Amino acid sequence: MGTNRKLLIDICSTSDNNGLCCDAQARILSEVKHSGLHSVSRNRQAKSEGVVMAEKFDAVDVIRTKRDKGVLSPDEIDWVIDAYTRGVVGDEQMAALNMAIFLNGMNRGEISRWTQAMIASGETMSFDSLSKKTADKHSTGGVGDKITLPLAPLVAAFGVAVPQLSGRGLGHTGGTLDKLEAIPGWQADVSNERMMEILEDPGCIICAAGAGLAPADKKIYALRDITSTVEAIPLIASSIMSKKIAEGTSSLVLDVKVGSGAFMKNQEQARELAQTMVDLGKDAGTKTTALLTDMSTPLGRKVGNALEVEESVEVLAGGGPADVVELTVALAREMLEAAGVHDADIEAALKDGRAMDKWKQMIKAQGGDPDAALPVASHTHDVIADSDGYLTELDALAVGVSSWRLGAGRARKEDPVQATAGIELHATKGEKVTKGQKLFTLHTETPDRFERSLEVLNSGFQITDEPLSEERKIILDRIS
């Protein structure tokens, strides 16, 4: 290695802690350049040729600023996201910065810039070429949360395109794609060209997001998951909104769950998250509203992949559990209003078959057979009430974990899921029950899972002599 190149590498790898300030670095770099080394460039080609790039900032300085409760500048945020994506900032440095953000927070300007920087790390989509307006929905996840399935075709029945890019389940919360894959032939992966065709007709699609959307978020999320910084609201909000904004929809409705089965356990946290995401959407020019909804007990009466598809079809046929119908209609109304469709008779579209028609067209467009029988579990186990009374407790987290242990969910992203696994709720919270009646039916392909599933489920419900003092409220608040 030549003397000039070695000197440059030594300079660029020297941090402020080693006593060399940025001005000194700049002076020496200038001297090196004039002595014959002219190809200092901040790009991947230079890196691949063995030249260490001159970076605009130092990761240690950025971490220190946030550690000391300072405000990161837009340029610092742009750099640290880009540098981490390129591998210049190490995992241990980004982990330290995430923890500093977790402890000290970010202001609105910082969160907005962080979100935009993650969007800029990858591709963006545009639906401007469509002949209709678009509206999207995002849920923070819960137990029995199958709302996307009936919601997308319901909104499409009113002429608004719904580009619903969804994900898979992890832990006790189910994934929309896992549910739909219980339908014979249905495919989650769709090309961008085919997506645009489907959005024109039938007008709705539920599919996997491309890997090119906000790749920085994927790296940062994986790191947060193993460094106890998942709960940082600025990082949660920017993670969700970077992907949704990059998807290019003109309006977005957020379903922010709160309760034991949700990510946010109390209303104060959920409201802060909702407001932060609404602000991020507005800052990016996307019409955004949020509903705070209850997830203290499961949504609907079926939890699991094929089971939730079955219940969604019941809703599209004009039936289904009241709580699922209520939330589906409320979110549809928010989405239609944001897209400029006012005073729509949403309930009528469920009753008269328009939403069902869109559902069948959407499933067919992605290779599925909407009329095929759904898979059924080989093994079931009934939980029986041991006394008369009222089901005054049915914990969402307990039901979610129980379903997960039956095979409906995954512990790691590469784990397979059972399409047939899950739990039917023959009684829900607040209902009167009698001794000897079926409370729950567990479904699985592997009966040795029943024991561990029952361990958590049996601790999650309670029958008492007195009824609940008040009825469950599904929609807790609206944030705009």
Q: Which of 112, 166, 239, 251 is catalytic?
A: 239
Q: Which of 224, 429, 443, 449 is catalytic?
A: 224
User: Can you read off the two tokens belonging to residue 319?
Assistant: 């039936």
Element (DSSP H or E) covering residue 98: helix 91-104
- Supply the DSSP symbol for 129: T
d(CA 42, CA 2): 20
Q: What are φ and ψ of residue 49, in 5° steps?
A: -90, 5
243 counts as catalytic: yes
d(CA 362, CA 460): 37
- Identify which of 152, 127, 365 has the alpha carbon closest to the alpha carbon of residue 253: 152
371 counts as catalytic: no
Strands 438-444 and 422-425 turn out to be antiparallel
Q: Which of 138, 257, 301, 405 is catalytic?
A: 138
d(CA 41, CA 477): 52
d(CA 7, CA 437): 80
172 counts as catalytic: no
Q: What are φ and ψ of residue 462, in 5° steps?
A: -145, 135
Q: Which of 217, 255, 283, 294 is catalytic?
A: 217
DSSP 171-234: TTB--HHHHHTTSTT--S---HHHHHHHHHTT-EEEEEPPTTB-HHHHHHHHHHHTTT-TT-HH
d(CA 12, CA 156): 55
Q: Which of 137, 146, 179, 243 is catalytic?
A: 243
Which residues belong to the active site?
Answer: 138, 217, 224, 239, 243
